[in-house]
Copies of this chain bind each other. A is one copy, B any other.
Amino acid sequence: MTIYLHDIPLPEARKRFESSLTSAGLWGLLEAEEIPLDQNAIVRVLAEPVWAKTSSPHYHSAAMDGFAVRSGDTIGALPTQPVLLKYGGYDEINKTVYVDTGDPLPEWADAEIPIENVEPLDDLGHPAADPRHPASIQIRAAVTPWSHVRVIGEDIIATQLVLPAGHMLRPVDLGAIAACGHDSVRVVRKPRVAIIPTGSELVPIGSQARRGEIIEYNSLVMASQVRLWGGKATRMPITPDVFEDIKKRVEEASLEHDLVLLNAGSSAGSEDFSARVIETLGEVLVHGIAVRPGHPVILGMIDLHRGDTPRRIPIIGVPGYPVSAALTGELFVEPLITKWLGKTQSEPGHITATLTRKVTSPPGDDDYMRVVVGRVGEKILAAPLSRGAGVITSLVRADGIAVLPRGSQGLPAGEKIKVNLFRSFTELEKVIFAIGSHDMTLDIMAQFLAQCDRRMVSANVGSLGGLVAVSRNEAHLAGSHLLDPNSGEYNLSYVEQYLPGRKVKIVNLVGRQQGLLVQKDNPKRIESLEDLTRPDVKYVNRQRGAGTRVLLDYRLDKLGIAADEINGYQHEEFSHLSVAAAISSKRADCGLGIAAAAEALGLSFIALYEERYDLIIPAEFFTDSLLSPLLELLAASEFQQAVLSLPGYDVTHMGSLIAELG
């Protein structure tokens, strides 16, 4: 254990890396290469300015379909006093010929008259049968020199600057470059980046991963990032955790690439060889950066001694967790590729948003927090996603990223934060925030809404949590199935209590069965809530405020069972699927939940109760165009069919208005 992690602040780490790259002559543009204009030149970056080789147009050309004339011949033409010009012929004056758009103007002409402004005549002075081949034309207005002529250089004059170096080529640019006489273009060559996945536990995508095996997808994510940013990526084969193998692979990759990304093995674990390999082949500049996630990043240089002159190649030891790996790409790989290509790094749009819940943060690190962003009424909201470095779905769901800087221990709910956006403002206006109870039909709804230009973001905080979110104007709707123990009715009394005076519509989504999820074929023969008190039965509960928890407590009360009689009552999960997953992975024997969750994970289900699951929608959103596709879905038979394909649902009252309050 001779290698230690140092918490170097991000700016300092960047400075060390840049200064090493500068010393090695690598902190600047890559060389130019010449490519034909038609060979995918778009999105490439000009290595040199483009100066016009020829003018455009390169001859005086007809701007419209019409007749070429000498302007001097038209002097004196008036509506009452036409001038006659003879078609073709060899006369020195009063001559005209027809020209199509783009045709060269005859040497003797200095103007054009559009065909709609002349009277083409035949030999007898009658309107000509073919207006384009008359015997003569009559005009009733004089024209000024060069009118309706595109003169040489109207668009581009030879030697002019057409595009500066460093410009990223767009389709129209290729046209301009071709127009001024070029058929190829000198662009910055693409940076070549090698990605080396290491780890004896890794198996390639498409493998049937066994226990202890992990599907290796970081190299795919990073290769795709590199391509998106304009580089060429090589995914090397998986290398096992063997020092000599990794060393050999790094040496091999360094010879053919501009940058090596060595994935995983960057922390200080027993099989983490990255730092030692880099130390052996070159220099470790930084090991451990004060950012989270992404902490154990290594920045280094590999020394190459082959060939005439020794060279150095930068290498980055990338942490193994997918969120850390993606962030390392954004923090270190994108700026380097951008620098090499001479692009200006696209600065993301940003927005100030209100934090929906409290977040804590390690004070020693810059903390990169992914959030979902949307607008509810006048409020722009940022809902923090899972902070786990292993939770790749947090990257998938994120609309943006907020940085909690070093020194901060976190922020309370309601605080304003700056969010760097991954999506456009327009897209954020299409986000529907559904906060509340979890139901699997919400997944199906999200899928249908995606096809109606809406994105539904659900947060599973339980039914009561949803009502609280609505009361704070932080949700467009809340899913709720709260049983009132006194009335036996659902939701109404809770809405009256939590949203007093608020104008709200309660709309039914589904009726559904609640029951006990148990191991497949119910080996412990659990049949009712009474069985939960058995010493051999381990229960998994839902969190406080969840409708299912309310139901459980109500039923236990009726049965006279105390919470502390139940082994596992304290073990709380936040969704039906999480309860099912806990049972499926044998962390528990049973839990109260819905049939669809049992089926999803191959568990057995003991039906116990029927309940109503409603959507609580503030009146102002009920009539908002944002929600109209959602309300239309509730009447759509395809959606109802899709819900019915899950077990335990009843769509009889789907879309019915249960109540209007306030």
Tell me the A residues contacting B by CB distance below 8 Å. 1, 37-38, 40-43, 49, 54-60, 63, 65, 98, 100-104, 110, 131-132, 145-146, 150-167, 170-176, 178-179, 181, 183, 199, 201, 205-206, 209, 211-212, 214-215, 217-218, 220-225, 227-228, 235, 267-271, 320, 322, 326, 329, 342, 344, 346-347, 349, 388, 390-393, 395-396, 424-427, 430, 443-444, 446-447, 449-451, 453, 571, 577-578, 580-582, 584-585, 587, 600-601
Q: Tell whether, in the assembled complex, residue A151 and residue B205 are in contact, meaning their CB atoms are under 8 Å apart.
A: no
Can you report 5 A-B residue pairs in the complex whose CB atoms are below 8 A from each other? A42-B224, A55-B581, A161-B443, A175-B326, A179-B217
- Determine if B159 and A600 form an interchain contact, defined as CB atoms under 8 angstroms apart: yes
Residue of B nearest to A209 (CB): B58
Dominant SS at the A interface? loop
Is the CB–CB distance between A156 and B393 below 8 Å?
yes
Contacts of A151 in B (CB 8 A): 581-582, 585, 587
Taking a contact as CB atoms under 8 Å apart, the answer to whether B102 and A172 are in contact is no
Shortest CB distance A166–B (Å): 5
With A161-B446, A221-B171, A451-B166 known to touch, is A176 a contact of B396 (CB < 8 Å)? Answer: yes
Question: Could you tell me the distance between the alpha carbons of A69 and B543 in the complex, rounded to whole angstroms?
Answer: 26
Select which of B58, B103, B344 is within 8 A of A453 by beta carbon. B344
A317 CB → nearest B CB, Å: 15
Compute how far the CA of A413 lies from the CA of B343 in the bound complex, rounded to whole angstroms. Answer: 35
CB distance from A433 to the nearest CB of B (A): 16
Give complex CA distance A220, B184 in Å: 12
Residues of B within 8 A of A444 (CB): 161
- A58 CB to nearest chain B CB (Å): 6
A423 to chain B, nearest CB (A): 10
Contact A155 B224 (CB under 8 A): no
A205 to B180, CA, bound (A): 10
Shortest distance from the beta carbon of A249 to any chain B beta carbon, whole Å: 19
Which of A41, A199, A209 counts the most chain B CB atoms within 10 A? Answer: A209
- A110 CA to B40 CA, complexed, in Å: 55
Given contacts A151-B585, A451-B166, is CB(A270)–CB(B347) below 8 Å? no
| Closest residue on chain B to residue A325 by CB atoms | B175
Complex-state Cα separation, A58 to B212, whole angstroms? 9
**Which chain B positions have C-beta within 8 A of A585?**
60, 151-153
Q: How far is the CB of A435 from chain B (nearest CB, A)?
A: 17
Quote the shortest CB–CB distance from A483 to chain B (angstroms). 26
Contacting pair A218 B267 (CB below 8 A): no
Q: How far is the CA of A315 from the CA of B346 in the complex (A)?
A: 36
Known: A38-B205, A178-B217, A224-B174. A447 touches B161 (CB 8 A): yes
Contacts of A392 in B (CB 8 A): 56, 155-156, 172, 175-176, 179
Indicate if the CB atoms of B600 and A391 lie closer than 8 Å.
Answer: no
Q: Are A224 and B171 in contact (CB under 8 A)?
A: yes
Indicate which residue in B57, B165, B600 contacts A450 across the interface (CB closer than 8 Å): B165
Q: Enumerate the 6 nearest inter-chain pairs by beta-carbon distance, A residue then B residue, closest first.
A: A183-B206, A164-B450, A171-B224, A178-B217, A159-B600, A153-B581
**Bound: A58/B214 CA distance, A:** 9
Given contacts A55-B581, A154-B390, contact A446 B174 (CB under 8 A): no
Minimum Cβ distance to chain B for residue A45 (Å)? 11
Known A102-B201, A205-B178, A600-B159; judge A171-B225 contact (CB<8 A). yes
Shortest distance between the CB of A481 and any CB in chain B (Å): 20
- CB distance B63 to A390 under 8 Å? yes
What CA separation (Å) do A1 and B116 show in the bound complex? 13
**Most B CB within 10 A of own CB, among A271, A320, A449:** A271
